[in-house]
């Protein structure tokens, strides 16, 4: 689905009044306003949108309550891709107008501006309000469906991203637990190996210690043998005395 081209609406409005002297300033302002709007329209048709914006704003300077000039400023801003600024103009124009067809046009263009600014929910709301005032606007119906489809796609993409992020976090947690378990096992193995080495060191004696131990045992053996000899000599002497 593709967005339909915007139907740009530019208004020219001439106010006719009765009377003579008291309305001369009003007539002068109306003529100036009309002049700048027509100038802006000519520039707009030549794709000189920045110049047309200036002319429309000059019309507003002449008549602060010129809703058509406000609307046209929005169109010129839209063509310059200043979508959010254009939307503000269409909102102002909608508030200034009381006629249903003009309010519907402002809301329709507001929907288009919001859509181009990727403000999808605001765009959908503007299209719906425009259709409440003018249900026969097929472009508004089409663009409403288009905006709704875009919003649905964005929501689905967001859900998929959140799901992917969640799976990524779960996988990371599982990997962290696995690494922690491996670290714990390695630490246990290291502790057991260290304990085994300590036990081996405690059980093993150096060569010098072994020699000292053997020497001590030899000395003890000599002492024992000496005691045995002395004991035997004493017994022999004792038997000799008894025989006498």
CB atoms within 10 A of CB 122: 17
pLDDT tens-digit profile, the chain (244 residues): 444 444 544 444 322 233 334 444 445 566 788 999 999 999 999 999 999 999 999 999 999 889 999 999 999 999 999 999 999 999 999 999 999 999 999 999 999 999 999 999 999 999 999 999 999 999 999 999 999 999 999 999 989 998 888 888 788 888 888 888 888 888 888 888 888 777 666 555 566 766 776 777 677 666 767 766 776 666 665 554 444 4
Is residue 59 a contact partner of residue 37, using CB atoms and an 8 Å limit? yes
**pTM for the complete prediction?**
0.60
Q: Give the H/E segment covering residue 167.
A: helix 138-203
CATH topology of domain 1-189: 1.25.40
Is residue 33 a contact partner of residue 66, using CB atoms and an 8 Å limit? yes
φ, ψ at 64 (rounded to 5°): -60, -25
Domain boundaries, the chain: 1-189
């Amino acid at each position: 689905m593709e967005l339909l081209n915007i139907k740009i609406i530019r208004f020219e409005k001439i106010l006719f009044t009765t009377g003579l002297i008291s309305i001369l300033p009003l007539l002068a302002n109306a003529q100036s306003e009309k002049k700048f709007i027509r100038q802006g329209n000519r520039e707009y048709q030549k794709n000189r949108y920045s110049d047309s914006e200036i002319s429309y704003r000059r019309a507003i300077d002449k008549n602060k309550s010129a809703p058509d000039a406000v609307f046209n400023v929005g169109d010129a801003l839209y063509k310059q891709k200043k979508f959010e600024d254009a939307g503000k103009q269409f909102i102002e124009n909608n508030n200034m107008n009381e006629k249903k067809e003009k309010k519907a046009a402002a809301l329709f263009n507001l929907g288009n501006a919001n859509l181009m600014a990727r403000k999808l929910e605001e765009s959908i709301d503007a299209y719906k309000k425009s259709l409440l005032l003018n249900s026969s606007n097929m472009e508004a119906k089409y663009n409403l469906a288009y905006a709704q489809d875009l919003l649905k796609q964005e929501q689905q993409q967001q859900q998929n991203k959140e799901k992917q992020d969640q799976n990524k976090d779960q996988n990371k947690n599982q990997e962290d637990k696995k690494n922690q378990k491996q670290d714990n096992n390695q630490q246990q193995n290291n502790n057991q190996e260290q304990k085994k080495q300590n036990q081996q060191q405690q059980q093993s004696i150096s060569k010098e210690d072994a020699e000292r131990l053997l020497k001590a045992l030899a000395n003890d053996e000599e002492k024992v043998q000496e005691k045995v000899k002395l004991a035997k000599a004493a017994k022999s002497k004792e038997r000799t005395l008894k025989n006498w």
